[in-house]
């Protein structure tokens, strides 16, 4: 009686026996990274406009309160 259970015979995948996987045979490295982002300029413009509008609102409120005091 063997000391460990017998393992089933699993056939190897094509290309694995040579030490190189079959998928890597036709793989070519890309020359540059893929473009995954967007243009940041519209976001920056919107954010700066929001900051300017908020600053103008705060300044106008402070001026109005200073005049009424």
Report yes or no on whether pTM surpasses 0.85: no
pLDDT, tens only, 20-62: 555 556 778 888 888 888 899 999 999 999 999 999 999 999 9
pLDDT bracket for residue 17 (50, 70, 90)? low
Burial 46-55 (b: 16+ CB within 10 A, else e): eeeeeeeeee
The tokens for 66 are 């200073």
pLDDT, position 47: 98
């Amino acid at each position: 009686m063997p000391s460990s259970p017998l393992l089933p015979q699993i056939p190897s995948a094509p290309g694995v026996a040579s030490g190189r996987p079959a998928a890597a045979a036709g793989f070519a490295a890309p020359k540059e990274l893929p473009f995954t982002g967007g243009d940041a300029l519209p976001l920056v413009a919107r954010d700066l406009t929001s900051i300017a509008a908020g600053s103008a609102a705060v300044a106008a409120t402070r001026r109005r309160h200073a005049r009424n005091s």
